Chains A and B, each alone.
Chain A
Amino acid sequence: MSQQTFHIRVNVNGRWYEADVEPRMLLIDFLRDVLGFTGPHIGCDTGHCGACTVILDGRNVKSCMVLAVQVDGARILTVEGLEQDGQLHPLQEAFWENHALQCGYCTPGMLMSAYFLLKRNPDPTEDDIRKAIEGNLCRCTGYVNIVKAIKSAARKMSTRKQ
C-alpha cells in the first residue's frame, strides 16, 4: 500500500498550524510530537484515563481517540491555551489554591473537562462536577480537592463576570 498523507490545517490555542500527516496518526501524537504541545498526556492509550483530553470545537474529547486527519479545519484548546497574558485561568488558580494536584499527570486533562463543564453550566452542583470528570482518572491526589477546586473556580468566574 502506498503511504497516503494529508495536508491539514489546525488552530491550536488561537494559532493556525499546517502539517502533513499519515492517516493513522492520532491527534494526541500530532499535538505532542508534531506541534510540541506536551501538556496533554498519554496515560492509557485505550480511551479510559482522560489524561489526553483537549477541547475540540468546543467539546472535551480524548485526543487519543481521534485521528489527526479528522481535525483538519478545527479549533483545539489544550491546557497550554488556558492562561492569558501570563495570568492563570481561574481553574488553574483554583487547582493550585486547593491542592487539586499532586503529581499533576491527570491535571491537563482534568482542567479541560472542568473547562467544558463550566462553559455549559457556570453554577454546577457537586454531583454535576463529579459527573463531568467521570472520564478523568486521578491516581494520586484524590477527587475531593479536585471537586473543591472546580467549585471554587466556578464562584471566582461568576463574581469576576459581574
Chain B
Amino acid sequence: MLQVLDGLRPRPFEYYAPTTIEEALKLLEEKEDAKLLAGGQSLLALMKLRIISPPTLIDLNRIDGLRYIKEESDGWLAIGAMTIYDDVEQSQVVRRRYPLLWEAVYRLGDQQIRNRGTIGGGLVEADPSGNLPPVAVALRAQLVAMNKDGRRIIPAEEFFVDSFTTALEPNEILTEVRIPPWPERASGAYVKLSRREIDYPIVEVAVQLALGDGDDIKEIMVVLGAVASTPYRATAAEGMLMGKSFDEQLVAKAAEECVKDLEPPSDVQASSWYRKEVSKVIVKRAIVKAWKRAMEVEV
C-alpha cells in the first residue's frame, strides 16, 4: 500500500460510513470528538490544512433518505440535510416559491462545490459569510435536529450562535430544513457582492417580503451576511418599510438606517469601512428586487 504524502494531507483518523441515521447517532455518542462528514467541501479543506484534526469521521453520505425536496400538504417545504446544492438549484419548486434560496445556491461556489456540498453542511458550518445562513433566517426556516432520544426544532434565527458556531449539541445531527409557506403575494431576493463569482461574499443580503392588498408591505425580513459573526437582521429597516407602498427613495433611506449600527469586520476581501458603505447599495438593491418580484413587475 502506498504511503499518504504528508504535505497538505489530513492527519490519520478513523472512518465510519453508517447506513442509517440511528447508527450515525450512536457513533456520534460513542466516539469522542468525532466529526460528521457531509459534502466535505469545508471540512476536508480544514483537515488538509490541519486547522482541525478530528480523530474520527462519521460519513453521512451512505445514509438513505436524507436527500430530498418535498412539498408537504400544509404548504411547508422540507429539504433533507444531505441534499446537495445542485439539487436545490435545479428544483423548480424552490425557484418558483423561494427565489432567494435559488439565487443563494446559484451563486454559491462553483459547479463542483454545488455537486458535492450540502444544504445541511452549509448551515451547520455557520460561516459568517456563507450564502445560506441569512437566507434561512429571512425565510423563517426551521432546522430539525436529531439525537438518539428524539428530535427538536430550532428556528433559524436561534440557530446561528456565533461565527462557525450553532445551537446544535455535539450529539445532534441536522436532518431537515423546513421552510414555511409565505402568503400568496410574497417574494424574495438574494444579492451577493464578491470579487469573483466563486469567492465568498464581501456583503450579502437576503430579503423576503409579503404584500397587503396593494403594493404595501405586510411582512418583511431583511438579513445581512458577512458583516457580523452571525446573520444580521436589520429590524430598523424592516420597521421603516412596514405598511408602506413601493417607494425607491424610502428603500434608500431604510438601507442607510440599516447599516448605522453595523461594525463589519476587515479582512483580505474588504475593509470594515467599505463593507459598511457598500452594504447600503446591496441592501437597497435586494429590497427593490424582492418588492418588484412580489408586485410581479420583475422576475
Contacts from A to B (Cβ < 8 Å): 1, 3-6, 19-26, 29, 33-34, 45-48, 50, 53, 59-62, 64-67, 69-70, 113, 116-117, 131-132, 134-136
The answer to whether B1 touches A134 (Cβ under 8 A) is no
* Cβ-Cβ contact count across A and B, 8 Å cutoff: 102
Segment from B18-26, B55-63, B203-211, B291-299 that makes contact with A: B55-63
The answer to whether B59 touches A70 (Cβ under 8 A) is yes
The answer to whether B86 touches A59 (Cβ under 8 A) is yes
Q: Within 8 Å CB of A135, what residues of B?
A: 109-113, 198
The 3 closest A-B pairs by CB, nearest first: A135-B110, A23-B15, A59-B115
A70 to B59, CA, bound (A): 8
Query: How far in angstroms is the closest Cβ of chain B from A143?
Result: 12
Q: Within 8 Å CB of B44, what residues of A?
A: 26, 47, 65-67
Query: How far in angstroms is the closest Cβ of chain A from B138?
Result: 24
Interface string of B17-58 (1 = CB under 8 A from A): 100000000000000000000001100110111000001010
Q: Within 8 Å of chain A (Cβ to Cβ): is B5?
A: yes
Q: Within 8 Å CB of A66, what residues of B?
A: 40, 44, 116
Query: How far in angstroms is the closest Cβ of chain B from A118?
Result: 13
Q: Within 8 Å of chain A (Cβ to Cβ): is B151?
A: no
Q: Look across to chain B and name the residue whose beta carbon is closest to the beta carbon of A53.
A: B112
If over half of B's interface residues share one DSSP class (helix, strand or loop), that class is named, otherwise mixed; here it is loop
Query: How far in angstroms is the closest Cβ of chain A from B3?
Result: 9
The answer to whether A33 touches B40 (Cβ under 8 A) is no
Contacts from B to A (Cβ < 8 Å): 1-2, 4-5, 8-15, 17, 40-41, 44-45, 47-49, 55, 57, 59, 61, 86, 109-113, 115-116, 197-198
**Highest count of chain A CB atoms <10 Å: which of B13, B44, B86, B197:** B44
A62 to B47, CA, bound (A): 16
Q: Within 8 Å CB of B55, what residues of A?
A: 1
The answer to whether A29 touches B5 (Cβ under 8 A) is yes
Q: Within 8 Å CB of A134, what residues of B?
A: 110-111, 197-198
* With A65-B41, A134-B197, A134-B198 as contacts: A21 and B111 at CB distance below 8 Å: no
The answer to whether B110 touches A24 (Cβ under 8 A) is no
Q: Look across to chain B and name the residue whose beta carbon is closest to the beta carbon of A19.
A: B1
* With A46-B45, A46-B48, A67-B44 as contacts: A25 and B4 at CB distance below 8 Å: yes
